[in-house]
């Protein structure tokens, strides 16, 4: 078990105990870390309930990633800590008219709204928390969640564009925050059954594809297959790793499915 005694982490994007972010928070606590969550608005009640289901109850700070003042408030609160060892950005949003094969007709307002929440907020969060992250003993870690963006995914539409932008933002953050000892990386996850994933048209077909063809096998109901990669990047084991996209997808990014015989399923 990875030991993180006394480390302090901020985890965004916990909506319920199905989310990848919730499972990351639980794993951090089991490794001995202190975890604080964020949420906002009507979702705060749901997030607080999920926080109570963690191995140890966690505080929930309010953060609306579409409000500049929200980042300032969180930075002020976290700034009172002696340090921040890492933060997970697990927030994404696309209006309904930006998904489901509506790419060609998506209005600019919807595309811009999704970009701000899903990509631009990553840079805002990292910048706001950089001073606290720089105080970490071995440098702080910023981790974001993405997918395999090298190919267009039917139905994913503008969210695919937002994730591609997220990867570029992560590289520039790695460039500019590196001198202060802060590293920035992403985890490209395979399809995991969550509330947000179920809102993407074609998710079931995509998950079927991964489960049939991923060399190491895949299970859409097992968030642990993604959590390990996030923990690695949040820990000192990745101390000299920045600007990277770590794939946690059973190896699907490395092969072309649909040709030949699929690998036998893993137990």
- The pLDDT value recorded for residue 100 is 86
pLDDT in tens, 76-103: 999 999 999 999 999 999 999 999 888 9
**The pTM is what?**
0.94
- The pLDDT value recorded for residue 199 is 63
The secondary structure of residue 97, as a DSSP letter, is: G
How is residue 217 written in tokens?
A: 């096998």
Cα separation, 110 vs 226, in Å, equals: 29
Cα separation, 206 vs 130, in Å, equals: 36
How is residue 15 written in tokens?
A: 């909506």
**Does residue 123 sit within a domain?**
yes
How is residue 190 written in tokens?
A: 């395979």
Percent of the chain at pLDDT exceeding 70? 95
**Does residue 78 sit within a domain?**
yes
**Does residue 265 sit within a domain?**
no
**Does residue 2 sit within a domain?**
no
CATH number of the domain residue 198 falls in: 3.40.50.720
- Cβ-contact 195, 168 below 8 angstroms: no
**Does residue 258 sit within a domain?**
no
**Does residue 56 sit within a domain?**
yes
**Which domain, by its residues, includes 65?**
8-251
**Does residue 183 sit within a domain?**
yes
Residue 246 burial class via C-beta count within 10 angstroms: exposed 0-12, middle 13-18, buried 19 and up: buried
Handedness of CA 37, 39, 44, 46 (dihedral sign): negative
- The pLDDT value recorded for residue 129 is 98
Q: Are strands 59-62 and 86-89 parallel, antiparallel or unpaired?
A: unpaired
**Does residue 245 sit within a domain?**
yes
Domain count, the chain: 1
């Amino acid at each position: 078990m990875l030991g993180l005694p006394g480390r302090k982490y901020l985890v965004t994007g916990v909506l319920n105990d199905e989310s990848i972010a919730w499972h990351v928070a639980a794993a951090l606590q089991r490794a001995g870390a202190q975890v604080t969550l964020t949420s906002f608005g009507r979702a705060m009640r749901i997030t607080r309930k999920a926080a109570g289901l963690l191995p140890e109850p966690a505080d929930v700070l309010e953060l609306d990633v579409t409000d500049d003042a929200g980042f300032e408030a969180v930075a002020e609160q976290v700034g009172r800590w002696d340090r921040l060892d890492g933060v997970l950005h697990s927030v994404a949003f696309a209006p309904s008219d930006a998904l489901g094969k509506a790419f060609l007709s998506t209005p600019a307002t919807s595309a811009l709204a999704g970009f701000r929440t899903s990509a631009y907020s990553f840079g805002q969060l990292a910048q706001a928390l950089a001073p606290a992250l720089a105080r970490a003993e071995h440098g702080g870690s910023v981790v974001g969640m993405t997918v395999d963006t090298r190919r267009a995914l039917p139905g994913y539409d503008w969210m695919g564009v937002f994730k591609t932008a997220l990867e570029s933002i992560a590289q520039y953050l790695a460039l500019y925050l590196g001198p202060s000892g802060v590293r920035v990386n992403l985890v490209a996850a395979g399809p995991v059954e969550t509330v947000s994933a179920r809102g993407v048209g074609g998710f079931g077909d995509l998950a079927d594809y991964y489960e049939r063809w991923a060399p190491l096998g895949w299970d859409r109901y097992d968030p642990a297959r993604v959590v390990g990669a996030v923990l690695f990047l949040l820990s000192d084991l990745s101390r000299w790793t920045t600007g990277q996209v770590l794939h946690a997808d059973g190896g699907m990014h490395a092969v072309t499915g649909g040709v030949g015989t699929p690998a036998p399923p893993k137990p």
